[in-house]
Amino acid sequence: MEIETVKISSIRPHPANPRVHPDSAVERLTKSIIEFGWTNPILVSEDNYILAGHARLKAAEKAELDEVPIIRLPLSGDKALAYMIADNKLQDMTEWNYPQLKDLLEQLDTGAFDMELTGFDEGELEKLLVNRMPPESQQGGSGEQKTVCPNCGFEF
């Protein structure tokens, strides 16, 4: 596979893409692309539809870029649709090792780096760094809800 650089106008979002990208996610991704450059090309089907990278395309447009890197996959039809779903679903099946994530965030939290470039917003970072809780945990009415990391057993 080769990475090509193409005009944004030459590729199209897939009309059946089931993934929704809120403006806040696109904004974070735009900042990431501006800061780190392109680290993950858009994956495109044989007929120039995006299979993976719809948010990256939106971020590129928001950053007013004319060209993006792509990889053309030899997929079309039902196989392309199945891949588009799998690419999104498989990332949902992963989890964080929260103690290790906290260690990395603490290492970066020197004041010299925009911590939101990690993808976490200020509230999520506070929960991770100060309260030692995953961002998605909520406090219950009768006290703190405990969350156990499935990888290491660490209790939040």
DSSP codes of every residue in the chain: --EEEEEGGG-EE-TT------HHHHHHHHHHHHHH---SPEEE-TTSEEEE-HHHHHHHHHTT-SEEEEEE-S--HHHHHHHHHHHHHHHHT----HHHHHHHHHHH-SSSS-GGGGS--HHHHHHHHTS---TT--EETTEEPP-B-TTT--B-
Which amino acid appears at position 33 of this protein? I
* pLDDT, mean over the chain: 86
Is the confidence at residue 120, as pLDDT, over 50?
Answer: yes
pLDDT digits (tens, 9 = 90+) for 59-106: 999 999 999 999 999 999 999 999 999 998 998 888 888 889 999 999
Q: Are the C-beta atoms of 29 and 59 separated by less than 8 Å? A: yes
Please name every residue paired with 49 in a beta bridge, in sequence order, or none if there are none.
12
Domain covering 3-92 in this structure, CATH number: 3.90.1530.10
Q: Report percent pLDDT > 90 for the chain.
A: 67
Q: So what's the pLDDT on residue 129?
A: 87
CATH 3.90.1530.10 domain range(s) in the chain: 3-92
Q: Is 143 left (phi over 0), alpha (psi -120 to 50) or beta?
A: left
Q: Give the sign of the dihedral formed by CA 26, CA 31, CA 32, CA 33.
A: positive
Is the confidence at residue 52, as pLDDT, over 50?
Answer: yes
0.75 surpassed by pTM: yes
pLDDT digits (tens, 9 = 90+) for 31-41: 999 999 999 99
Strand 143-144 versus strand 139-140 pairing type: antiparallel
